[in-house]
A and B are shown apart, each in its own frame.
Chain A
Amino acid sequence: MLLRYRGREGMLAWAFHRISGVAIWAFVVLHVVDIYLVGGDPKAYDQILQIYASPIGRVGEMLLGAALLYHALNGLRIIVMDFWPALTRYHRVLWYANWALFVVIGLPVAYQIMAPAFGLPQFLR
């Protein structure tokens, strides 16, 4: 169903937007709770931070960043087409442009996040 309904790039763009959106929402629920603990129970917050900073936590952080970047770029594409409908004709080109930006911006960010897990130096440190 995911790949057949309407189909092709437009459907995949929609499915990824929805999946990334729900994933970001789930992290936001967790994140507001952990930030609440900064005031409510700072020691518990620092323990959760250890999990976020672990190698597995960094993989999650990278996936969160990927979801956020995709959702932001594709959301901008949706808004552009909503308010400038003529561009809907080029929705597929715009989606591939999104992916180009996603890779160009995402790769250095992914390196920066994962570097400490491999003992590699980070930028700007």
Chain B
Amino acid sequence: MSVFTRAGRARPQGGGSELAIWYLMRVTGLALFVFALTHFLILHVLYDPADQTASWIAQMRWSSLFWRVFDWSLLMLVLFHGFLGVRTVVADYTKGGTRTALLSLLYLVAFLLFAAGTSVVLTLPVVPAA
């Protein structure tokens, strides 16, 4: 397998967690190609966001277990892919204490979004459609 491409991050040599993250970025990226584009197609093309009020989400979107599971899966994929991606960007442009501080903040924000997103998808009451 080649070491270089002109577009992506070079595949880390020697294994370990960096190689695992390199594969994870590609696996979650492929999954997001399906999940994120499906999400955008349904909620921005087939439906108009202007109609998607809080009660629309409770009555239509999240009255279905399937879409709750779908949206939570999308959240997990985007948290891993997005935050590991920004981790690469931060590591490229910073070093030392600044890098440690920014990465710590980054992981804290990731955890807070995990907690907020998971709690709302689990606890929003199911409202039967009117």
Contact = CB atoms under 8 A, between A and B. Distances in A.
Q: How large is the interface on B (under 10, 10 to 19, 20 to 34, 35 or more residues)?
A: 35 or more
B26 A61 contact: no
A6 B6 contact: yes
B89 to A, nearest CB: 6
Contacts of A49: 49-50, 52-53
Contacts of B30: 76, 79
A109 B40 CA distance: 10
A75 B48 contact: no
B44 A40 contact: no
Contacts of A75: 29, 33
B49 to A, nearest CB: 5
Contacts, number: 127
A81 interface: yes
A7 B32 CA distance: 29
A38 B57 contact: yes
B116 A36 contact: yes
Interface string B1-36: 110111110010000000000000010011011001
Interface of B: 1-2, 4-8, 11, 26, 29-30, 32-33, 36-37, 40, 44-46, 48-50, 52-55, 57-58, 75, 78, 82-83, 85-86, 89, 109, 113, 116-117, 119-120, 123-124
